[in-house]
Structure 1
Amino acid sequence: MKILYFAWVRQKVGVAEESVSPPADVGNVAGLIAWLATRGPGHASAFADPKQIRAAVNQDFATPDQKVAADDEVAFFPPVTGG
């Protein structure tokens, strides 16, 4: 799974993108956020308040219950981005 980070999410995580292999029980955006938050202090900080994170799966805006699969591209960003 390819993960992209934008704006302050990228700053806190420390990378713009990464490839991950979440556990089989991670089946939606909310589960992915919870799992990513366990990957280290930067991830924990970025995902501390999931309400402050927006997601897109395969370049379509996604809700927390949106399903994710191993070959998906998932992007995380703040509610308002500039630039």
Structure 2
Amino acid sequence: MDVLYFAWVRERIGTGHEHVEPPEAVRNVADLICWLAERSPGHAEAMREPAKLRAAIDQKFVPLDALLGNAKEVAIFPPVTGG
């Protein structure tokens, strides 16, 4: 699956996109975040506080407990504010 990172998440990881193949134990977005945190120190820093992250699966906003299913793309980003 493709994982997209935005804003300070992207800055801490050092890339805006990567292709990953998580293990079968990674079933939902929260599991994915925990698994990604183990990839590098930048990932660990970006994923340190999952409650401060938001996600979208295949361009639809989802809660962190949303199942990944056959997701092709997961986006991870900080809360979006408008004005």
Task: Tell me the TM-score normalised to structure 1 length.
Answer: 0.92
Equivalent in the alignment of 1:33: 33
In the alignment, structure 1 residue 13 sits paired with structure 2 residue 13: yes
Structure 2 contact 57–71 (Cα < 8 Å) conserved: no
Structural RMSD (CA): 1.4
1:1-83 equivalent positions in 2, closer than 5 A: 1-80=1-80
List per-residue Cα deviations over 1:2-25 (Å, max 9, x = no partner).
000000000001001000000110
Structure 1's unaligned 5+ residue stretches are none
CA contact (8 A) 1:21 1:70 kept: no
Moved over 6 A (4+): none
Unaligned runs of 5+ in 2: none
User: Identity, % of aligned pairs?
Assistant: 54
Question: Shift of the alpha carbon at 1:80?
Answer: 2.5
CA distance in 2 between partners of 1:81 and 1:57 (Å): 19
